[in-house]
Structure 1
Amino acid sequence: MATNEEIAKQVVEAIGGEENIQSIAHCATRLRVMVHDHEKVDVEAVEEIEKVKGAFYNSGQYQIIFGTGTVNRIYEAVTNQGVSGTTKSDMKEESKKQGTTFQRAIRTFGDVFVPIIPVLVATGLFMGLRGLITQEQVLALFGLTPDSISDNFLLFTEVLTDTAFVFLPALVAWSTFRVFGGTPVIGLVLGLMLVSPALPNAWDVAGGGAEPLYFLGFIPVIGYQGSVLPAFFAGMVGAKVEKYFRKRVPEALDLIVTPFLVLLIMITLSLFALGPVLHLVENWIFEGTKALLELPLGLSGLIIGFFHQIIVITGVHHIFNFLEIQLLENLNYNPFNPIITASIAAQGGAALAVGVKSKSKKMKALAYPSSLSAFLGITEPAIFGVNLRHGKPFIMGLIGGGVAGFLAALFNLQATGMAITVIPGTLLYLNEQLFIYLIVNIVAIAVAFTLTYLFGYKETTEK
């Protein structure tokens, strides 16, 4: 077995040598390389390198899939050879002119939300655990009833489950300022202003317990607890406003004047213009998604379950983070998660079938870890390394995702959180839904595996 240092040398050689590398960075699963001359890259040679689970060109970058953990070690080995690494933000600046306008917009949206996802995952797990330990059946095992739980304990669980969503605008504004080159702490304070207790609480207004403040008799002003778009655009515009003043305010006054002007201008703009308009747009997006999810007879699951992994290929699936946040915020549950879980599990089932049927040791070594990665919620190795490479396994995976997504919608599965799926996603269903959730995943894997094994893969396709 080759060492990481040897693999790193092979990677550098296959992409045209050190002189052809413009910049290199990595994300959770992929080594991302920008090159000077695309013609010098030997993609087939890259794919033959040990531990490589797939390689493709997207959004101005050659992306080489190694998988979680491995990619960090390979990146370190590459940079140890003298290849200049770069941060993902630097690479974003280099590649911001590449790809379509839509691709660049979605890439930026992803850059904003990826750092926030871990706390939302943790919050989802807290919600699942609270749902488990407050179930009447679980409490009965310990001789307790729901009345046995103290109010103080329930208050403690609310701190765990509600904080991230109450202050979500602060997190979004902080991250948006960071991505667009502003001072993150200014974004954080601006986001906190959007949920100031001095403003009518958005949830109280929605529930009829409070009324908006009306300025000039027609501009409704409320807090934006749980909202995303107002904070996102406030952060984007605010970072540009900050850059404008940084260039014009004398250095001796910059520390005092710039934050003052940015916060004054942006909170005024946010509360009286951006907020009311974008909050309305946000509601339209939510209602549209909800309408799709409410299609009868499981049709929503069939449609989303089939098409979700196609959208993953395009790289614009980060926008679903926003939709899931809105669903959790408005419904207190997430019907989108079990459907995309079905589509993810199915791609893992298809890759597993390729591994079982293939006689190639290299393909088995690629397919088995890729299927495991999918069962842990990450499908890129399975899609790009196995299924899409052979074509039909990917299609069989889409069919499996549609069938299992149909079941998820038909049985009205509802996650308590977001951002984790398949095996880790089990933690979002630690209630009476757990059995159905497991059935949906088993069906997704079984359908995709069977179709791929019988019709979707032949040994000759490897050549």
Structure 2
Amino acid sequence: MADNKNRRSDKQIAEELIEAVGGKENVASVTHCATRLRFIVNDEEKIEKEHVENIDKVKGAFFNSGQYQVIFGTGTVNKMYNEVENLGVNGANKAEQSNKAAEKNGNRFQRAIRTFGDVFVPIIPVLVATGLFMGLRGLIMQENILALFGMTPDDVSQNFLLFTQVLTDTAFAFLPALVAWSAFRVFGGSPIIGLVLGLMLVNPALPNAYEVAGQTAEPIMFMGFIPVVGYQGSVLPAFIAGLVGAKVERSIRKKTPEVLDLLITPFLTLLIMSILSLFIIGPVFHSVENVLLDAVVSVLGMPLGLAGIILGGLNQVIVITGVHHVFNFLEIQLLEAFGSNPYNAIVSCAVAAQGGATLAVALKTQSGKLKALALPSSLSAFLGITEPAIFGVNLRYFKPFLAGMIGGAVGGFLASIMELAGTGMAVTVIPGTLLYLNGQILQFIFVNIVAIAVAFVLTWFFGFSDKMLKEVQQPETQVK
């Protein structure tokens, strides 16, 4: 009976939400991510924005890149999406909806960032898993851990080490295949052609990129001046190859008679793109990739913890703008080049600090509704997802968000001067501890606690009081 009641409750919320966004006829399409329903609407003026934000379970709502995004939080958003679809609202996959959003609203920069996100987000789960494997291997191989079993590093079986290398090296060794597959999917090509093209970039017949970098192998020189190597771990060449390849495939398919399409299109696409990728795209964009990597390393290497202060303080501002997906590419590059990711520790502090600010609001307020919103939002932040905390609480009263920025800067500063670096990406705060099992876990916990504490104290004493509830709500009353 309880389940039926919950389903009815979710259905009622979905009905109220659709009515508040202007009815089904005003919704062109809807999809969802980990925390938000994302609507493409026909007429923004028909949305009753104040009503939406006061609907039960809604933790905030805002427009970004042509999408009206309603925050429900992890788990809840999946249930709400199902209820909305059951009401007959048109669903769409993220790539389709991104295209619609770009057509309706969005400049070239926003479209480029959205495209980066669409390409790299599907790849992130396997890179997260790889990072966790690296962290676990680091834990197991520590001398004090092995000593518990009466072993030393020399006693560890070579077969076991080989198995761990399979777990930790595969995703990065074949990363171009993953990127090219995803790029073909996003840009309208056949993903399987993208996958094969990506595998060509890491074919064992080519000199291994890692061996060339270590000067144990030489690149193949074509025409005396074009260096050709494998592109193990490279991202940008595969991304550009996927972008160009999808367009080449579509062009060939349009001009090819249907009866010959199965033979001609994949043949010509792979032939043309293998030549372009190995002789032009690869060498050029691999050089660009190295320049970008050097720039990121220079920023992260700034003295006196400046990198931590800047990135830790501003990271969540970047999240608000929606352009934070560009950092996925940079994190992948750091992991591929160095096997570690110092950016993760800094970002984790920024995320934790927003959770600390939200927790202070939750414990200080006397409003039952705000407390019910802020407590789970702070927990969500401590699990690595800050949107409910930012849009549902901190930005509404602004000072808590500012306190979170300061806490992130302090924690980032400490992470920077302590040279913390995770073994993976995309998970932070509590789940992120698994990336620091290689002897850094206590320092990682310390910097996150400091970030939380600074944001909490600043919010408690200077950033929030229940008087702000009236100040925030007053304009809404006047509008009505």
> TM (normalized to structure 2)?
0.95
CA–CA distance in structure 1, aligned partners of residues 442 and 33 of structure 2: 34
Cα displacement string for residues 266-307 of structure 1 (whole angstroms, at most 9, x for unaligned residues): 010011111111001100110001001111121111111011
Residue aligned with 2:50, SS: helix
- In the TM superposition, what is the alpha-carbon distance from 1:89 to its structure 2 partner? 2.4
Instruction: Work out whether residues 139 and 439 of structure 2, in 8 Å CA contact, stay in contact via their aligned partners in 1.
Output: no
Alpha-carbon separation, structure 1, partners of 2:395 and 2:338: 35
Q: Which residue of 1 aligns with 2:475?
A: none
Aligned with residue 151 of structure 1, among 141, 149, 158: 158
Deviation at 1:125, TM superposition (A): 0.5
Task: State the Cα distance separating 1:188 from its structure 2 match.
Answer: 0.1
1:243 maps to 2:253 = no
Q: Distance in 1 between matches of 2:415 and 2:61?
A: 32
Structure 1 counterpart of 2:386: 379
Other-structure match for 1:454 = 461
Ranges in structure 1 where 5+ consecutive residues have no aligned partner:
none
SS in 1 for 2:233: coil
Distance, in Å, in 1 between the alignment partners of 2:54 and 2:436 is 40
* Residue equivalent to 2:136: 129
- Residue 60 (str. 1) matches residue 66 (str. 2): yes
| SS of corresponding position for 1:25 | strand
Within the candidate set 47, 55, 59, 2:53 is matched to: 47
Q: How big is each residue's C-alpha offset from its partner over 1:380-414, in whole Å with a ceiling of 9 and x where there is no partner? A: 11111111111111110000000000000111111
Number of the residue aligned with 1:27: 33
Q: Secondary structure at the match of 2:422?
A: coil
1:302 and 2:309 equivalent? yes
Whether 1:435 and 2:442 are equivalent positions in the alignment is: yes
Separation in 2, partners of 1:217, 1:187: 29
Offset of 1:86 from its aligned partner? 2.1
1:69 aligns with 2:93: no
Q: CA deviation at 1:84?
A: 2.2
**Aligned to 2:292, which of 282, 285, 294?**
285
Map of 2:189 onto structure 1: 182
**Deviation of 1:17 (Å):** 1.3
Partner of 2:198: 191
Task: Measure how far apart 1:51 and its partner are.
Answer: 0.7
Classify the secondary structure of the residue corresponding to 2:395.
Answer: helix
Distance 1:144 1:264 in 2: 53
Paired-residue identity, %: 67
Is 1:325 matched up with 2:332? yes
User: 1:81 Cα shift?
Assistant: 1.6
- Give the match's secondary structure for 1:16: coil
Mapped pair 1:392 → 2:402 = no
Corresponding residue of 1:424: 431
- The reply on whether 1:339 has 2:346 as its aligned counterpart is yes
Instruction: Count matched residues.
Output: 463
State whether structure 2 residue 212 is matched by structure 1 residue 205.
yes
> Partners in 2 of 1:314 and 1:368 — Cα distance?
24
Q: Residue type matched to 1:355 in 2?
A: A
Q: SS where residue 96 of structure 1 aligns?
A: helix
What amino acid sits opposite 2:332 in the alignment?
I
1:240-287 residue CA offsets vs partner (Å, 9 max, x unmatched): 000001111111111111101000100100111111110011001100
Query: Partners in 2 of 1:231 and 1:129 — Cα distance?
Result: 29
Higher deviation after alignment, 76-85 or 341-350: 76-85
Q: Distance in 2 between matches of 1:232 and 1:285?
A: 15
CA shift, 1:93, in A, is: 2.4
Code of the residue aligned with 1:81 in structure 2: it is: L
